[in-house]
A and B are shown apart, each in its own frame.
Chain A
């Protein structure tokens, strides 16, 4: 995918869900994120593509501030990312994240994994949380595994539970950090099917082996390609050949 284009469909600013402005991030001498400007609107699916080690995960992690940035600004739903603390925690609850390596809570059953955020963060009553958790687990096709521990599941099953765990919070944005890169080919399909199903239901889909940030209603797709040195956007609609240079790394 070498052709490059930019979408310029000027949406109202109120619809901007995730906004990155001049974001820079260094790991020591390594300048991983270079002046990233990125706006994700409600209902948009953004796919970030780039070679290994180019900073896709880092970009994803800065959006819910698991990684701090050196310069620039990030805001979600109009609110700038606050400092570490209660307010940031509240904001993170609205940003679902699915990790490359699943990261299910090892000491909790599948059901508890999906309930925990609801009961402890959202303060949802237990019965209600359990009902929602079971429905979500059914939806991602692992309803029968509810009482097992994560270590007893296959990778594909674990990742589907992780998706259910993120969805249980009712997020405004879903961040998928290469949700299938740690999976065998057969398992990739399970997970992709789940994500496609979610997309059809108005929940965010994702691309295989890529970092995807997608707000929770999918309408149009906008790819942010990131090959070697640059991130470029490709619009769902009109395609122009002017790269929207978002440098991630030299």
Chain B
């Protein structure tokens, strides 16, 4: 019990760290995921190939390996001097984007083909068709899988702790190194994650209901 109260600042900092990292990498994953999903359904073969390659690469690589690449390969080959936080953001965002892309693509596939054909027949471009007609109708089916993806992202962000980014799971290491009772530490850390993941699933359920009445 005391572990929490005595180290409230550490817990708070870790809690906020996890939230920020999840939010930022979630936003990055959404943007990338939508763009890559657009690539995957586009009429341009090189874009489709790029999209498929992106998903194959990031969906099939263990996240820890992506972290290792972000830490030890990216600085050497692409851009040196990234902060650990940015590197964690990139690894988590890219990894999650592959899953977001596939969720969105499956949503796109549930929209009847006739909708896109009608849009094209009145002169909409591919981009307009996707943005104005297909994606809005795909949203409803995409919400439940996205909820799962973001919960997974929250938990995956714990890996960043092992790479010395300040976040909730890292607090556990910090305190157990100081010799506190590990069971209590884990309990509080777990509750911290539960608060975040419950909030996410609650928000998504709200969103789902909101979209449900909009039609």
State the A residues within 8 Å of B (CB).
64, 66, 84-86, 89-97, 99, 101, 103-107, 116-117, 120-121, 149, 151, 162, 165-166, 169
Contact = CB atoms under 8 A, between A and B. Distances in A.
Interface string B107-135: 00000101101111111111010001100
A105 B115 contact: yes
A66 B125 contact: no
A169 B133 contact: no
B123 A107 contact: no
29 contacts: A64-B121, A66-B120, A85-B125, A86-B125, A89-B120, A89-B123, A89-B125, A92-B121, A93-B123, A95-B121, A96-B121, A97-B121, A99-B114, A99-B117, A99-B121, A101-B114, A103-B112, A103-B114, A105-B115, A105-B118, A106-B115, A106-B215, A107-B133, A116-B132, A117-B124, A149-B215, A151-B215, A165-B122, A169-B122
Interface of B: 43, 112, 114-115, 117-126, 128, 132-133, 136-137, 214-215
Contact of B122 (A106, A121, A151): A121
Contacts of A166: 121-122
Contacts of A91: 123
Residue with the highest number of chain A CB atoms closer than 10 Å, among B43, B112, B124: B124
Contacts of A97: 118, 121
A59 to B, nearest CB: 15
Given A105-B115, A120-B128, A66 B121 contact: yes
A92 B122 CA distance: 6
Contact of B124 (A94, A103, A121, A165): A121
By Cβ-Cβ distance, the 9 closest A-B pairs, closest first, are A93-B123, A117-B122, A103-B118, A103-B114, A97-B121, A121-B123, A92-B123, A89-B125, A89-B123
B113 to A, nearest CB: 9
A94 B112 CA distance: 24
B121 A120 contact: no
A66 B117 contact: yes
Given A105-B115, A107-B215, A117 B137 contact: no
Contacts of B120: 66, 89, 92
B123 A103 contact: no
Contacts of A107: 133, 136-137, 214-215
Contacts of A90: 123
A147 to B, nearest CB: 13
Given A103-B114, A103-B115, A103-B117, A84 B124 contact: no
A162 B117 CA distance: 13
A84 B126 CA distance: 9
A55 to B, nearest CB: 17
Nearest to B123: A93
Contacts of B114: 99, 101, 103
A97 B170 CA distance: 60
Residue with the highest number of chain B CB atoms closer than 10 Å, among A96, A106, A149, A166: A106
Nearest to A65: B120
